[in-house]
């Protein structure tokens, strides 16, 4: 398809948070580096999730609260693409929209941030750890039951300020977000997946657009990262099989290992007392099958009871 970039304009819908605006600017710069004549406008939007960022509303309502208004902008032709953190995208999206592009994934691991301690083992007994993620909470407590996990909400800057005021001995954030905001020096310790398995899509930027907008899809193809897409497809296939409409603590993390996909997963009950883990290795061509088959295995191992 021929693209008339001398006249092509692209409107980017994004959340208003500093991290979201950085991600939108990142995509804009990537596109302009390939298509210098492309005219790009960024449209910041306050989502429903942003209005309740400091409450338990986001956790109880789950994925989708940070993207709904951006999708509405696409459907009403008020924007051409929407930028998301892939971990915020539900497994099912609107039939008229497509997750057309996944940029090269940044570090997907969780990070420990502390002013005094360099890793989890250095934390004193009964140390107070800030996170509102049940996924992080249950995995950490499985490793060290003496830790006190205390709720922590707000954007990255707000959470760091609470740590600096001494309300926590340490907090846990996604490493990718810290790096994108130039705060990687705040990271005390990258938590290995053996201790804290990341959620599906963490560290990746996803770009959504209208299914019928083939010209935009062709433009986005130039910044699409194939390997990141395949690994995230694997992770999402696992979650899609198990968790449609369900907000349980889940980890789903795929990496390349000797040119094979290695998927590691876990699912926990809401009280953290019942944790089921699984892993599977397969070929690139079978990305979705790997996630689907592993989900079926976990269902047989007891995940069905947790989901019920």
Active centre residues (catalytic): 88
User: Residue by residue, what is the 3-state secondary structure of the chain?
Assistant: CCCCCCCCEEEEEEECCHHHHHHHHHHHHHHHHHCCCCEEEEEEECCHHHHCCCCCHHHHHCCCCCCHHHHHHHHCCCCCEEEEEHHHCCCCCCCCEEEEEECCCCCCCEEEECCCCCCHHHCCCCCEEECCCHHHHHHHHHHCCCCEEECCCCCHHHHHHHHHCCCCCEEEEEHHHHHHCCCHHHCCEEECCCCCCCCCCCCCEEEEEECCCHHHHHHHHHHCCHHHHHHHHHHHHHHHHHHCCCCCCEEEEEEEECCEEEEEEEEECCCCCCEEEEEEEECHHHHHHHHHHHHHHHHHHHHHHHHC
């Amino acid at each position: 398809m021929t693209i008339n970039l001398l006249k092509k304009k692209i409107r980017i819908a994004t959340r208003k948070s500093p991290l979201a605006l950085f991600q939108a600017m990142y995509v804009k710069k990537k596109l302009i580096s390939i298509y210098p004549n492309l005219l790009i406008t960024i449209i910041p939007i306050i989502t429903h999730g942003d209005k309740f960022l400091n409450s338990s509303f986001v956790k109880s309502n789950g994925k989708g609260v940070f993207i709904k208004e951006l999708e509405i902008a696409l459907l009403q032709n008020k924007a051409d693409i929407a930028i998301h953190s892939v971990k915020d995208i539900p497994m099912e999206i609107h039939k008229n929209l497509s997750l057309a592009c996944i940029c090269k994934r940044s570090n997907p691991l969780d990070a420990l941030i502390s002013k005094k301690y360099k890793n989890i083992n250095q934390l004193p007994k009964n140390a107070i750890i800030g996170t509102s993620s049940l996924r992080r909470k249950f995995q950490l407590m499985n490793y060290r039951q003496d830790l006190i996990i205390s709720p922590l909400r707000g954007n990255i800057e707000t959470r760091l300020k609470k740590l600096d005021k001494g309300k926590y001995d340490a907090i846990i954030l996604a490493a990718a977000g810290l790096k994108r905001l130039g705060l990687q020096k705040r990271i005390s310790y990258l938590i290995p997946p053996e201790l804290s398995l990341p959620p599906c899509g963490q560290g990746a930027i996803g770009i959504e657009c209208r299914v019928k907008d083939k010209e935009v899809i062709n433009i986005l193809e130039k910044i699409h990262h194939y390997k990141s897409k395949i690994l995230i497809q694997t992770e999402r296939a696992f979650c899609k099989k198990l968790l449609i409409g369900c907000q349980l603590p889940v980890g789903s993390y795929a990496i390349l290992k000797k040119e094979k996909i290695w998927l590691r997963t876990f699912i926990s009950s809401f009280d953290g007392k019942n944790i089921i883990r699984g892993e599977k290795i397969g070929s690139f061509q079978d990305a979705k099958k790997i996630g689907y088959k592993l989900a079926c295995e976990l269902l047989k191992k007891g995940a069905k009871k947790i989901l019920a």
